[in-house]
Chain A
Amino acid sequence: MTKKGFTSALDMPDVPMGKLPDHLEVQRTRVVCKADAPINTEGIQYSGAYATMGIDNSTPLERFTKNFKVEVIRLTEDEMEFDMIGIDAAIANAFRRILISEVPTMAIEKVFMVDNTSPIVDEVLAHRLGLIPLDADPRLFEYMSEHDVANERNTIVFKLHVSCKKGSERLTVKSDQLEWLPDGSKLHEVAPCFPGEQQKTYTSFSGSQMEVSKRPLGVMHKDITIARLGPGQTIELEAHAVKGIGKVHAKWSPVATAWYRMLPEVVFLKEIKGEEAVQLVDKCKQGVFDIEDLGSGKRRAVVKNPRACTLCRECLRGVSEEPVELRRVRDHFIFTIESSAAVPPEVLFTEAVKILEEKCERVISELS
């Protein structure tokens, strides 16, 4: 539809039909980080955003399943780094939030003090004990509520009994001195009335906890300092650990932390040659740029390792005309998970995805 002297932008000869023009494609798929702040951060999610141009912005399930990729970069028993390509920030953030606050672990909750003459007060000692990561797989245990009886399926019992003899040096109480009691609590709740009566303790274990756990339980790191005792001081206590989630208290968070960043992309706005190129390579301390020899003494700057870009913006500082554009790819996430629990990081991520599925199922059942 052309009026005289008026051409629609879509009819221009160099606009590609059926796909977005370049500047709109950058707006849809990249976050541009300018010298002062990033722009285009919100993302065009609405399925009909480009309907007037005849382009469908929706991502139906088939397209998602075809394009989604995961690449593992590094995997040890404590931490992992992997790339998720083709997913949106909303879901990547949901995984991160669930990893931090809703994946369950075991941590000490109740501490029964028998004797504490150390310089650390009872409540501070109990707080410190709660923060110690335990080597127990939370998937083998059940949650315990207020009315439940403490048994071998929902409680792990530890004992700590250390004293520093009079005349000896100061003693440091380390976490490996926490002793696991597989048969339950040894503290008696009430004094026995009759000589032969069964003692009632604080837990009711019907069997050894080895059957639940299949391997000895303990702490993850043996060298955490719990307290320091001077001569003549004692700590005698029993600690009960239960299953919980990070939302209630951070001691139950299974990750030291989990974070993601978007894949950086560095694009040259103009060609950088010669002396400027050497300066640019020097400016970037992360090694993003490199010199390419064009022959006959000419040198050009190229992008060698965009993934290393930490957005320090040194390359943009102090120049009047920006030589490069720093961008982030909107659907490519570099996830790092550092596990501080007994569960390895890849299992933590799988549990987090399962928890998101359970949340959806719960809402679906509420709606029906």
Chain B
Amino acid sequence: MEHGSLTDESSSTFSVIDEDHTLANSVRFVLNQDPRVSFCGYSIPHPSDNNVNIRVQTTGDSAKDVLKDALHDLVAMCQHVRSTFDTSVTDFKATQPTKKMEVDK
């Protein structure tokens, strides 16, 4: 849910339900890395309600587009983490000496 102004699309607050620091902090980090962003942050209005408010202010672009780009970037980063991790684990397993088998387990 986006709370913003109809005339000025470059700043708005996105209120996301069923999320907490896990996603919000990661998105805030990726948003900060985007040069189009002039301000970004998140807050949790009350710890018992599962809501998080993400505030994005940009240098001119639509805040919704910048947030969507940041989320796409985060997805790409996760996919890269996953593939790098899988390669490292396969390499590690290949270099391990064969473990002795426990026959009567």
Contacts and interface: CB of A to CB of B under 8 A. Distances in A.
Asked whether A and B interact, the reply is: yes
Interface of A: 45-48, 56, 58-61, 64-65, 68-72, 75, 82, 84, 87-88, 90-91, 93-94, 97-98, 102, 346, 349-350, 353-354, 356-357, 359-361, 363-364, 366-368
Given A350-B82, A363-B19, A367-B67, A45 B37 contact: no
B43 interface: no
Interface string B80-105: 11101111110111001000000000
Given A70-B85, A75-B93, A360 B23 contact: yes
Contacts of A91: 26, 29, 74, 77, 81
B26 to A, nearest CB: 5
A366 B89 CA distance: 35
Interface of B: 2, 14, 16, 19, 21-23, 25-29, 32-35, 37, 64, 67-68, 71-82, 84-89, 91-93, 96
Contacts of B93: 75
10 contacts: A47-B34, A61-B73, A70-B87, A94-B26, A102-B22, A356-B22, A356-B26, A357-B78, A360-B71, A360-B72
Given A45-B33, A90-B29, 9 more contacts: A47-B32, A69-B84, A72-B92, A75-B89, A75-B93, A94-B22, A94-B26, A353-B78, A353-B81
B73 A87 contact: no
Contact of B25 (A72, A84, A93, A346): A93
B75 A360 contact: yes
Contacts of A65: 80
Contacts of A367: 2, 14, 64, 67-68, 71
A363 B33 contact: no
A59 to B, nearest CB: 5
B73 A70 contact: no
Residue from B79, B86, B89 whose CB has the most chain A CB atoms within 10 Å? B89
A71 B95 CA distance: 13
Nearest to A74: B92
A71 B19 CA distance: 31
A364 B88 CA distance: 30
Contact of B33 (A59, A70, A75, A98): A59
A102 to B, nearest CB: 8
A68 B80 contact: yes
A265 B75 CA distance: 31
A359 B16 CA distance: 11
Contacts of B25: 90, 93-94
Nearest to A349: B85
B71 A68 contact: no
Contacts of B87: 70
A363 B71 contact: yes
A85 to B, nearest CB: 10
Residue from A90, A98, A364 whose CB has the most chain B CB atoms within 10 Å? A90
A47 B33 contact: yes
A360 B76 CA distance: 10
Contacts of A353: 78, 81-82, 85
Nearest to B37: A47
Contacts of A59: 33
B25 to A, nearest CB: 4
B20 to A, nearest CB: 8
B76 A61 contact: yes
A72 to B, nearest CB: 4
A59 B86 CA distance: 23
A97 B16 CA distance: 18
Contact of A46 (B32, B67, B68, B79): B32
B35 A70 contact: no
A179 B96 CA distance: 36
Residue from B14, B25, B34, B87 whose CB has the most chain A CB atoms within 10 Å? B25
